[in-house]
Amino acid sequence: MDTTSKFFIYARKSTDDADRQLRSIEDQLAETRELAAKHNLDVVDVLLEKQSAKKPGRPIFNQMLERIEKGEASGIIAWHPDRLARNMLDGGRIIHMVDTGAIKEMKFKIVEFEPTSQGKLTLAMFFGMSKYYVDNLAENIRRGQRNKLKNGIWPSLAPVGYLNDRKGRVIVPDPERGPMIRKAFELYATGDYTLDKLTELLTGLGLTNSTTKKFQGQPLSRAQVHRLLRNPIYYGTISYSGEHHEGKHEPLISKSLFDACQTILERESQPKILDRFKPYLYRGFFRCGECGCLMTTETQKGHNYLRCTKRVKKNCSQPYVREEVVTEQVATALTSFTIPDDWANWMIGELQLDRERDAADAASSEGAIKEEIRLVETKLDRLMTGYLDQLFGPEEYKLSKNRILAEKHDLMQRRAAFVTSRESRFEPAIRFINRVKQAKIVALGGDAAAQRDFLKSVGSNLNVFDREVRFEARGAWKVVGRQRVLGAYEKAPVAKTGARSAENRQNELKRRGGDSNPRAGLSPLQHFQCCSFSHSDTSPEFLLTSNRASILAGSRAGFHCVDRAGART
């Protein structure tokens, strides 16, 4: 042996995990140092690396070969050839350096190497076997992952909000982080939180990363929160390599909540235009009643005035109107959309009775949804059969499967919503009646912004004409506004049993229509409301029926509106 030869000791493990392969690096050092001492080898440096040799690009390994080329050493001591290379590029580089004489000797604990043709062939075989081991291991892992995905099991470390159940080999909701994830989706779906604000809030709640031990315990970044909101795993679908799989784990959120967040994410991804305008109360709220242009607001002598922008009709004749006047009219208009409390309470009671009667029909409707789900599952089975029979390619299979799974999740969501909300099918109508009771509270509350927002939910086609606010009541609000216009509050008592004859009601309308001043005695803001109807009944039964039709079936309840000149609209 050349007594002038100098050696590098090289030891490597494939992971930084402190719990895995910890003894491997220590055992390698012990074995290689014992080998160096046994053969009285001159060790220049001990090099340790914590990186897989599956792919080229290990920095310490490359530095070692560069130092050998510079003449700092001419030999390598390692525990096994697979510590040096598990890919053919690094393996070929070592054999090439043996060919050129840069590497004169290599010592391994369990392998004898000589720089001869037979020795190089043996070394190449070891490198090839190491690569085969890595490739075969990867294929086995992928096969196991595919099998898990087919069975609806998440194939890797649980995402934030879930934990790996080693016993059941599934993921289960994290009792600590799971509620935080659900809250994150709920907050973002409101549209009141940006990603930065949501990330800050989650950090304040103590939500930390749990996917890898390297980052465990660290707060989530903005990008991680964005990926979290995009991950369908939380509503029960596993997305892996672009393909969707139906998961068997417990969802943390509903698909409807997930879809709502996706809509906001898409909207927020659009480029923003900086808001350079003053925060006027009615900015972009009203249109001009003459030409249809948006009303703008400007400040003159300490007061805000609304005026037409005149973008279409330059000679628009509409005058300025003070913001305070508009606010007063909005507040007064809201008082026209209310009903007596005893009416409201009676209608809520009737809806509750109907809810009980509706329970009998619930079972058949739920059965229909179950049948649709069964048909979708049959489609999935047929799709799998067609794919196995090679009737179509993998891309077409993925697209079709993703579409059918989305359809199935929608049906599952409908079924879940149907089951959980069976007792609250009439809640929208009940909430509407309670909101009607709230109209007067908002009108008298003095909060101009709240009154503006309430008016937007009540009416459409909001415009200003001759300094007067005009709008059309929408949906069931038309029925509520009608009661006020016809003076029903003062003239029609609550009728729980019995009612005036149809003839008397028709005569009353005829008398009112033939009056020399048919608007006298009505609300001073009758021009806000619908003032001619094909129904003349002013009883609470009619109002309840009309509300049901408007809220639950989308009907117009058989009425129409007229403008101030008497023209039907």
Domain spans, the chain = 6-146, 162-268, 287-334
Q: Is the pLDDT of residue 553 over 70?
A: no
Closest listed residue to residue 127, CA positions, set 89, 96, 98, 99: 89
Query: CB of 562 within 8 A of CB of 488?
Result: no
| Alpha-carbon torsion (485, 489, 491, 495), positive or negative | positive
Non-local (6+) Cβ contacts of 418 within 8 A are 362, 365, 366, 369
From the CB of residue 152, how many other CB atoms can be counted at a distance below 10 Å? 15
| DSSP sequence for 465-478 | ETTEEEEEE-TTHH
Domain 162-268 carries which CATH code? Answer: 3.90.1750.20
- Do residues 164 and 260 lie in contact, with contact meaning Cβ atoms separated by under 8 Å? no
Distance between CA atoms of residues 82 and 12, nearest Å: 9
Find the mean pLDDT for residues 373-395. 81
pLDDT at 218 over 60: yes
Which residues fall within 8 angstroms of residue 79, CB to CB, at 6 or more apart? 11, 27, 28, 31, 32, 108, 109, 110
C-beta separation of 27 from 60 below 8 A: no
Alpha helices in 231-322 (DSSP H): 255-268
pLDDT of residue 322: 92
Name the more confident of 107 and 390.
107
Band of the pLDDT at 286, cuts 50, 70, 90? very high
**Both tokens assigned to 290:** 């003459």
CA distances from 428 to 350, 378, 424, 425 (A): 14, 35, 8, 7
Q: What is the pLDDT of residue 489?
A: 36
CA 430 – CA 476 distance, rounded (Å): 12
How confident is the model over 423-443, as pLDDT tens digits? 556 777 788 888 888 887 888
**How many other C-beta atoms are found inside a 10 Å radius of the C-beta of residue 242?**
9
Decide: 207 and 219 in contact? Cβ < 8 Å: yes
User: Could you give the CA distance from residue 178 to residue 480 in angstroms, rounded to a whole number?
Assistant: 44
Judge contact between 164 and 171, C-beta under 8 A: yes
For residue 266, the one-letter residue type is E
Cβ-Cβ contacts under 8 Å for 14 (sequence gap 6 or more): 21, 50, 51, 52, 53
Give me the percent of the chain exceeding a pLDDT of 70. Answer: 76
376 alpha carbon, distance to own chain's centre? 25
* Contact (Cβ atoms closer than 8 angstroms) between residue 210 and residue 177: yes
C-alpha distances in Å from residue 314, one per residue of 56, 291, 309, 311, 537: 72, 9, 9, 6, 46
CATH number listed for the domain at residues 6-146:
3.40.50.1390
Distance CA 547, CA 532 (A): 18
pLDDT at position 276 is: 55
pLDDT score at 563? 40
Task: Tell me if 486 sits within 8 A of 505, measured CB to CB.
Answer: no
pLDDT band at 284 (very low <50, low <70, confident <90, very high): confident
Mean pLDDT value across residues 41-61 = 89
CA 343/CA 497 separation, integer angstroms: 13
Tokens standing for 220?
A: 């989530």
Give me the mean pLDDT over the 82-90 stretch: 88
pLDDT of res. 425: 63
What 3-state DSSP class applies to 201?
Answer: helix
Which tokens belong to 169?
Answer: 């080999």
Hey, is 63 helix, strand or coil? Answer: helix
Tell me, what's the pLDDT at 360? 62
User: What is the greatest pairwise CA distance in the chain?
Assistant: 128
